[in-house]
Amino acid sequence: MTESILIIGVGSPYRCDDSVGLAILKQLRLHELHNVHLMERSGEGSDIMDIWQSYGHVILVDAVQSGSAPGTIHRIDANTEKVPTDFFHYSTHAFGVAEAVEMARTLGELPKHVLIYGIEGKDFEIGKEISAEIEKSAEQVVQQILDDIHSIREKELAHA
């Protein structure tokens, strides 16, 4: 029996490149994925900690702004790498994806496998358009996620 996989697409549909996580989910919905659950989320951290609780495999996609070239794909294995939360002290209302990972780690509640794709955005203004270079990266991430799902299933078969 296969283990359920949760894929979380984080973003706002009205913040241009910030919606890339939702766009990726939309693409994934076109594929027939067995025992894979797709959820859209706004990115509030404790909500994410709540929905991933019963899953062994979580893949989360979000837009980021870290100073890299727009469209850059950051792939973070949250189980082995810290997700930096340096900005936290200076934010007034933020308990987001990074905090969810680090809080879950502190409490020993991080799912067994958490993989995060961060796509470097360019335009986070209000609006509906995703920048061209970000759309390209989104296609790539869709393929990478399909590959990730495939390799999770392969490993399951090998251990069956």
Partner 1 sequence: MKNTKTIKVDYLARVEGEGALFIKIKDNELQDCKLKIFEPPRFFEAFLQGRHFTEAPDITARICGICPIAYIMSSIHAMERILGIEVGGQLRELRRLIYCGEWIESHVLHVFMLHAPDFLGYQDAIQLAGDKPELVKMALRLKKAGNELVRLLGGREIHPINNKVGGFYKVPEKQDFAPLLEELKWAKDASIEAVKVANSLECPDFDQDYEFIALHHPDEYPFNEGRLISNTGLDIDIQDYEDHFEEIHVEHSNALHSIHIEHGNYFVGPLARYNLNYNQLSELTKQVAVDIGYDRIVTNPFQSIVVRSLETVYAIDEAIRIIENYEKPEKPAVDYDIKPGIGWGCTEAPRGILYHRYEIDEKGTIKTAKIVPPTAQNQSRIEEDLSNFIPKYMDLSDEDLTWKCEQAVRNYDPCISCATHFLKLDIERE
Q: Which residues bind partner 1 (CB under 8 A)?
A: 10, 12-15, 18, 38-47, 49-50, 62-68, 71-76, 81-99, 102-103, 106-107, 116, 118, 121, 124, 126-127, 136-137, 140, 144
One-letter amino acid at 35 equals N
- Rg of the chain taking only CA atoms, in angstroms: 15
From the CB of 160, what's the least distance to partner 1, in Å?
29
Q: What span, in angstroms and rounded, lies between the C-alpha atoms of 160 and 157?
A: 5
From the CB of 57, what's the least distance to partner 1, in Å?
18
Residue found by looking up tokens 């986070």 in the block: 124
Which residue's CB is nearer to partner 1, number 58 or number 137? 137
Which residue's CB is nearer to partner 1, number 71 or number 111? 71
Q: What span, in angstroms and rounded, lies between the C-alpha atoms of 12 and 21?
A: 9
